[in-house]
Structure formats: C-alpha cells, structure tokens
Amino acid sequence: MGRVTARRPVLRIRDGEVTRRPDALAAEEPMEIRLDGRPLTVTMRTPGDDFDLAVGFLVSEGVVHARDHVVAARYCAGATDEGTNTYNVVDVQLDPAVPAPHASLERSFYTTSSCGVCGKASLDAVRTSSTWKVADDPLRVSSALLATLPDRLRAAQRVFDRTGGLHAAGLFSATGELLVLKEDVGRHNAVDKVIGHVLRDDLLPLRGTILVVSGRASFELVQKAVMAGVPLLAAVSAPSSLAADLAEETNLTLVGFLRGASMNVYAGSERVTAP
C-alpha cells in the first residue's frame, strides 16, 4: 500500500544557520475509483483508508446510503502494464438492486486535492438530493463545547505532527466525544473518509453529530455533511458564500472561524446556545 508520508532532503535555513536534513512530507498520490469495474473518477489523496474514501465518495454523490448497498471494495490487481498492484485503483462492487449512477457522475477529469468540486458542469449537478433531511434534527450544543473541538481535533492528528501538511475531519458526538478522525491532503477526501467509515459500520444517518474540519468550509463540504445526515458543520476558517447558501437552504448549522471562544454562525443558529 502507499505511504502516508515521504522523506525528502531539504536545505533548512533558520536564523542564518544552514543545515541539511531529511524532512517528512504528506504523501499525495492519485487514486482511481471504479464502480463495478468501470472507471468513475480519479482523486488526488493521501494513501490510507482508501476503501472508506471510495465508499464515502459514493455516499456524497448519492449513489449509496446504506451498508448493504456495497458488496465489496477491493484494490485492483494488474493496474499496470506489468500486472502489478499499485494500490491506487479501488473497485467498489454494488448490490445489483442499487440503481446505476447517472452518466454525468462518470468524470473524464480528475479531482484535485484542493478542490473536489472543480469540473462540475453546473450548480444543479452538485445539488444532490439527500436520503435524509437535517432540518428536523434536534441537536443543540453550547458555544463553549464547540470552542473545545478544534483543539481536540488537532491533538488527534498523528500524521500532521510529522508533516504539518494534512487536513483533518473529525466527527464528534453532541457531548464532544471524538468518534472518527481522518486525515488527507484534501479536506473533501478527509470528509469522505469519515463518511465511508461510518457507512461501513452501518451508522448512517449521522443525526445528533458535529463534523469539524480544518481549513475552510466549501459548498462541497456542506453537501457532504447533508448527504450523511450531519446537522452541524464547523470549520476553523471561512465558509464560502455558496456553502452558506446551501446550509441555509437545508437548515444545516454552519459555523466558521471556530478559533478559541470565537466563532461565526452563518446558518442554523438555533442549534448553538451562547453564554
């Protein structure tokens, strides 16, 4: 399987002092997702939790929403001309009763680690109808509890400690317990890994939970949260205008600039209780 980190020699300059030393970098490799043997898409990701990533992507795109929809996920042997396994091609086999995805999902472009939504033909193409609605989720959390979550997320990032170059997505309970944490060079990949993990444990929908992400909150991350039934998405940085629009439309609670005791609630403020 691929490495999570890679070592590179670097010239380090600190306060005028020059040294040469190896440095750890977050690994980034392409992964092709196939559906019942047919190429579906390629994403740039950090190797690890690849089956979760592939299945989570299918949840986000509305292809599956239950564990029994997925029969198997496996690495494809013979992925190269020499017949070797690169561990960069994952084939997901669906239950025959699951409807085939719309042809528009089969992408001829690859998804970059920085922007998963690039290449979508239109806004309508990403407004996927969710199996679950978050509007009636009764979750209520205090701003004091939300303020503790970024530090808990950061403390659990093992690979970030070695590289400083990975995003994280953490799923928390309503009482602040960390349920699942995934890391990746792409925020959207980290979220898909979380969603795929919980689907494979048959835990969807994620009612009464909080999804915390490092970095900013894009439209796509809001969409992924809604597709998994998550009622509250919190980001340590800014949301986009489209993310806030979708959150308001679906009544998902969207929190941005979650840093210390400070935060902005852009939608669904009724779920956050202030001191």
Q: Where in the sequence numbering do the catalytic residues fall?
A: 115
Contact by Cβ (8 Å): 255, 237? no
Contact by Cβ (8 Å): 90, 160? no
Helix (H) or strand (E) holding 255, with range, is strand 253-259
How do 141-142 and 178-184 pair as beta strands?
A: unpaired
According to DSSP, the residues that pair with 23 across neighbouring strands are: 8
Question: What amino acid is encoded at 24 in this protein?
Answer: A
Can you give the three-state secondary structure of 188-211, one letter per residue?
A: HHHHHHHHHHHHHCCCCCCCCCEE
Can you give the three-state secondary structure of 66-97, one letter per residue?
A: CHHHEEEEEECCCCCCCCCCCCCEEEEEECCC
Q: Give the length of the chain.
A: 275
- Compute the distance between CA of residue 159 and CA of residue 237 in angstroms, rounded to an integer: 21
Query: Which of 208, 263, 270, 210 minimizes the C-alpha distance to 239?
Result: 263
Place of tokens 């309508």: 124
Contact by Cβ (8 Å): 167, 183? yes
